[in-house]
Amino acid sequence: MKRTTVVVSACLVGKRCRYNGEHRAHAGVLRYLKGKKYVAVCPEKLAGWGVPRPPVEFSGGGAREAVAGQASVVDNRGRDRTASLLRGARRALRRALASQATEAILKEKSPSCGVRRVYREGRIVRGGGVFTFWLRRRGIAVRSEDSFSGRGATRS
């Protein structure tokens, strides 16, 4: 039987790529991935953003609107980061498609990787990130770490 590939947010498997320089290694996700083929990606690193970096959130809409040019992603100094976030998510999508992934496990609340909740204008609202949006449009099933039992993390 053909082995499937899982795309996973790099911070969930222990990469210190979060805005604050931490990771969010998740015991349940790591257990699930054991013995499976997976590709760890961080769309915001692929955007060329450093670590640490200012946190970002949606403004004026969510992923669908940001992709359509009707909303933006701004950092905590109010700078518009939409174009580079979209670029990073597009690069991450290309990696996911090249790996022929059929499923993804992404980090909740991020404007790139969020699955059911994201930060928008200082609040957590329902919605997904841009990478998630594009993966779903390509038919890739997406879940977040919330679907896996086990403590979230060995934060750095």
Map residue 30 onto helix, strand or coil.
helix
The residue from 6, 7, 33, 42 that contacts ligand SF4 (CB under 6 A) is 42
Piece of 63-71, 74-82, 105-113, 139-147 that binds ligand SF4 (CB under 6 A): 105-113
Is 144 an interacting residue with respect to ligand SF4 (CB under 6 A)? no
CA dist 63 to 15, 16, 56, 78, 154, Å?
24, 24, 13, 18, 29
- Measured CA to CA, the distance from residue 130 to residue 25 in angstroms comes to 22
Among 18, 26, 53, 81, binds ligand SF4 (CB under 6 A): 18
- Beta bridge mates, 57: 74
Is residue 82 near ligand SF4 by the rule CB under 6 A?
A: no
3 burial class (0-12, 13-18, 19+ CB within 10 angstroms)?
exposed
Is 93 a binding residue for ligand SF4 by CB under 6 A? The answer is no
In this complex, which beta carbon is closest to ligand SF4, that of residue 2 or of residue 123?
A: 123
**Among the listed residues 145, 108, 114, 118, the one whose alpha carbon sits nearest the alpha carbon of residue 57:** 118
* Sole binder of ligand SF4 in the list 17, 73, 93, 142 (CB under 6 A): 17
Residues that bind ligand SF4 (CB under 6 A): 9-11, 17-18, 42-44, 107, 110, 112-113
